Amino acid sequence: MKLAARLDRIEPFYVMECAKAAVELSHSAACDPARGGRPMIFLNIGEPDFTAPPRVLQAAQDCLARGRTQYTAATGLPALRERLSRWYAERFDVDVPPGRIVLTAGASAALQLACLALVERGDEVLMPDPSYPCNRHFVAAADGVARLLPASPAQRFQPDAPAVEAAWTPATRGVLLASPSNPTGTSIAFDEMARIVDAVRRRGGFTIVDEIYLGLSFDAAFGRSALAHGNDVISINSFSKYFSMTGWRLGWLVLPPELVAPVERLAQNLYICPSSVAQQAALACFEPESIAEYERRRSEFRARRDFLVPALESLGLRVPVMPDGAFCAWADCSAHADSSWDFCFRVMREAQVAITPGRDFGPHAADRYVRFSYANSMEQLRDAVHRLQQLLSVSR
């Protein structure tokens, strides 16, 4: 069967390939306590170890019990769009009318809708290297070209306005950024984001900012939404990370007013509407009891970061920029290996700790860096560090 040529531009999702290898290894003798092994510790997947809090679970059960499972509008429940509008005002001091908010089947659907609405064949979209791999593949799926801008530790692994201006060509259509970023956990400074938005605006381009980790910012200097820089900024967000609803597949877009109708038309045809049960349940995310729990969890993620990063540094796994959000750390493994891919598989086999190599996140310094996710319990993190100490003290 002849496949579409666009598939040639979609690379494997190596995060998931490594995850499959880790799961397979977890069934081996090395990870079987009955045969003298120890269970695999998974620090490779960016998924909170917390599930949805009680009020959200109860809201979903109530929705099912009452049979409220029919289609919603493609743009989502009006009540949830209104609640998100208030969330932006309360949390980020940004005025976002409900009519600019489109609920989606996860942030992935939001990214797909934005790219299909804005990117044409051959259009270039600038984004940082390193960055989340699926972002560039959404561009490729729209027949565009993701152009990666190498970003150094001195830049906090993020592009700046001069880099965007220098890379802009007649083929460039816009930028796709993430703040905080996966895999680095670093954000773009508020003033620098303003300069980037202005540079793109002057060239008639679009600015899309993936803000799915914005609720998990630890530093007030970085915890502000790019939406403050104008109604033409497009924000991607999700209930998966801060709100701990990964498998519920519910996200949202904040769009310029003129883009809402075109994106709605795409959504109607691509998936009709997001899950109605997930939307009804998500209304409970904003109840005081739920917010208090989410803030407790955010403090827990920060405590994990504050434990893990110094521990990695002591093992020669330097984290050149302290993550200011999310739950991942971008660590330099070059003191221990020439290949981050080989290093990760060695750590999986010999220490039974699963981490992610840099290959997925862009070619720049990919062999040098690995990603540690601290979306796992403090107990598991301590055990993982102990295992790494045992392994790396031998290798050093």
When the pLDDT of each residue in the chain is averaged and rounded to a whole number, the result is 94
**Residue 194, Cβ neighbours under 10 Å: how many?**
16
Residue 4 predicted with pLDDT over 80? yes
Rounded to the nearest 10°, the torsion over CA 160, 216, 371, 154 is 30
CATH (residue range 5-50+290-395): 3.90.1150.10
Q: How far apart are CA 270 and CA 371, in angstroms?
A: 33
Q: Would you call 289 helix, strand, or coil by DSSP?
A: helix
pLDDT digits (tens, 9 = 90+) for 157-199: 999 999 999 999 999 999 999 999 999 999 999 999 999 999 9
Tokens of 157: 């692994």
Q: For CATH 3.40.640.10, list the domain ranges present in the chain.
A: 54-287
Q: For residue range 208-263, what is the model confidence (pLDDT) as tens digits?
A: 999 999 999 999 889 999 999 999 999 999 999 999 999 999 999 999 999 999 99
For the CA atoms of 184, 190, 194, 196, what is the dihedral angle to 10 degrees?
A: -20
CA distance linking residue 344 with residue 367, whole number of Å: 11
Residue 394: predicted pLDDT: 61
* Residue 29 in this model has a pLDDT that exceeds 70: no
299 vs 16, which has greater pLDDT?
299
Rg from Cα positions in the chain:
21
| Strand, helix or coil for residue 316 | coil
Q: Where in the chain is the domain with CATH 3.90.1150.10?
A: 5-50+290-395
On whether the CB atoms of residues 191 and 179 are closer than 8 A, the answer is no
Residues 6+ apart with CB under 8 A from 82: 98
Q: What tokens were used for 355?
A: 């981490």
Helix axes 106-118, 133-141, angle to 10 degrees: 40
> Three-state DSSP class for 49?
coil
CA distance 351 to 384: 8
Say which residue, 139 or 36, is predicted with more confidence: 139
Both ends of the chain: CA-CA distance in Å?
51
Class of 54-287 in CATH = alpha beta
